[in-house]
């Protein structure tokens, strides 16, 4: 398939598996990239030594011995990460083909990453930041709507509203994220003007995801209304309902200050929940689409099935044009 995004990333299927703390290590990224999508290492929960280990394993899993070339993959680099400079050095050393920057200004490292030969994608939650990312020279923009799992924009703009607005505002390849977990949703994102999609929550509940089994089971048990945007005054994040989330909501209702909330959050909550499997006291980041996820599936066949379903949906939709 030849689209601005598949040409840019050199992949046959325009599906990016999102970088996700505690969920997206080399096994998940390898499975998605081998299936034709773009697998991504979530470096936000890795110390530099761990990132290096994952880069080595991923590179060797994706190396084509005949051509001595690696199948494309990405590293997600949240720019607020304290050891971002060490991660940048590793990205350069291991010649990472694609870097997905988030949680920070696109003007910070785009030139350095381009000089290192990386394609740079930048995650935004508003049209204003999409325009800024384009001005900073990124190669493509990922626009993430309010439905998404993980950290989120304060604007609360849904994917349905955000994608057409960003499409009008920028000329770059555009990737839609937030609330996408089926072929039909991918087709809808393409109809709104995106050139491809980034999917997080659906991949958190896959065989190769490094999330704790209890978290994967909790995702498949989630029902509509189980997630809520939380910590809006501190660092907005969409969380699954549990004892910890309820504690935060109560503190927010009672007017807790950002410092009180930071104290309540403490350290290591995300690891405790998503990686160590404490379903009550841990932080469980997941998107609204979790209510549609009923099974833990292997990521490679899932990627191919999502794309097949998207193509089938687009073919079915063409029946509407026959009616005119
Ligand atoms: C468990 C989890 C962890 C996440 N961690 C990160 C992260 O480390 N960096 C980042 O840029 N986005 C992170 N996200 C957001 C995803 O990259 C992605 O944009 C989002 O999941 C897309 O929406 P969806 O969950 O509806 O598919 C995370 C999402 C989830 C569900």
Q: For residue 18, what are the contacts with CB-CB under 8 A and spacing of at least 6?
A: 24, 40, 42, 76, 150, 177, 198, 199, 200, 203
* 90 conformational bin, left if phi > 0, alpha if psi -120 to 50, beta if neither: alpha
Q: List where CATH 3.20.20.70 sits in the chain.
A: 8-210+290-313
Which atom of ligand 1 approaches the CA of 19 most closely? 17
In the predicted model, residues of the chain with pLDDT beneath 70 are 323-324
Does this model's pTM top 0.85?
yes
Q: In this predicted structure, what is the pLDDT of residue 64?
A: 80
Distance 211 CA to ligand 1 centre (A): 13
- Given CATH 3.40.50.2300, say whether it is the number of domain 8-210+290-313: no
For 65-124, the pLDDT digits (tens) are 777 788 999 999 999 988 999 999 999 999 999 999 999 999 999 999 999 999 999 999
CB 99 within 8 A of CB 118: yes
Instruction: Pull the structure tokens for residue 41.
Output: 């290492």
CA-CA distance, 285 to 179, in Å (whole number)? 13
CA-CA distance, 141 to 152, in Å (whole number)? 15
**Quick count: other Cβ atoms within 10 Å of Cβ 135?**
11
Give the closest residue (by CA) to ligand 1 atom 3: 20
The residue to mutate among 28, 38, 140, 148, having the most atoms of ligand 1 within 8 angstroms of its beta carbon, is 148
Q: In this predicted structure, what is the pLDDT of residue 225?
A: 97
Q: In this predicted structure, what is the pLDDT of residue 324?
A: 59
Q: In this predicted structure, what is the pLDDT of residue 322?
A: 73
Distance 236 CA to ligand 1 centre (A): 12
Please give all residues whose beta carbon lies within 6 A of any atom in ligand 1, as ranges.
Answer: 18-21, 23, 42, 44, 76, 78, 102, 123, 144, 147-150, 177-180, 198-201, 204, 274, 285-287, 289
Q: In this predicted structure, what is the pLDDT of residue 216?
A: 98
Length of the chain: 324
Q: Which helix (H) or strand (E) holds 16?
A: strand 15-17
Q: In this predicted structure, what is the pLDDT of residue 323?
A: 63
Three-state SS at 33 = helix
Of 243, 223, 208, nearest to 286 (Cα)?
223
């Amino acid at each position: 398939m030849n689209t601005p995004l598949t040409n840019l990333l050199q992949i046959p299927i325009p599906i990016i598996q999102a970088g996700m703390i505690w969920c997206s290590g080399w096994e998940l990224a390898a499975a998605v990239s081998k299936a034709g999508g773009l697998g991504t290492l979530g470096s936000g929960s890795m110390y530099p030594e761990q990132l290096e280990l994952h880069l080595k394993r991923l590179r060797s899993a994706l190396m084509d011995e005949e051509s001595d070339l690696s199948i494309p993959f990405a590293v997600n680099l949240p720019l607020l990460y304290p050891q971002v400079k060490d991660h940048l050095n590793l990205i350069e050393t291991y010649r990472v083909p694609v870097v997905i920057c988030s949680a920070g200004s696109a003007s910070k490292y785009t030139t350095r990453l381009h000089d290192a030969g990386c394609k740079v994608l930048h995650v935004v939650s508003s049209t204003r930041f999409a325009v800024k990312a384009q001005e900073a020279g990124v190669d493509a923009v990922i626009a993430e709507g309010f439905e998404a799992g993980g950290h989120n924009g304060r604007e609360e703009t849904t994917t349905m509203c955000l994608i057409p607005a960003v499409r009008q505002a920028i000329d770059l390849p555009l990737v839609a994220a937030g609330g996408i977990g089926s072929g039909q949703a991918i087709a809808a994102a393409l109809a709104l003007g995106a050139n491809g999609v980034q999917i997080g929550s659906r991949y958190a509940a896959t065989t190769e995801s490094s999330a704790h089994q209890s978290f994967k089971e909790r995702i498949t048990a989630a029902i509509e209304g189980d997630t809520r945007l939380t910590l809006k005054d501190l660092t907005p994040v969409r969380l699954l309902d549990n004892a910890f989330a309820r504690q935060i909501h109560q503190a927010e209702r009672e007017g807790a200050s950002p410092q009180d909330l930071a104290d309540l959050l403490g350290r290591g909550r995300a690891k405790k929940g998503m990686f160590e499997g404490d379903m009550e006291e841990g932080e469980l980041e997941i998107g609204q689409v979790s209510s549609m996820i009923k099974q833990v599936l292997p990521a490679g066949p899932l990627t191919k099935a999502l794309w097949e379903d998207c193509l089938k949906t687009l073919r079915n939709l063409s029946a509407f044009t026959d009616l005119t």
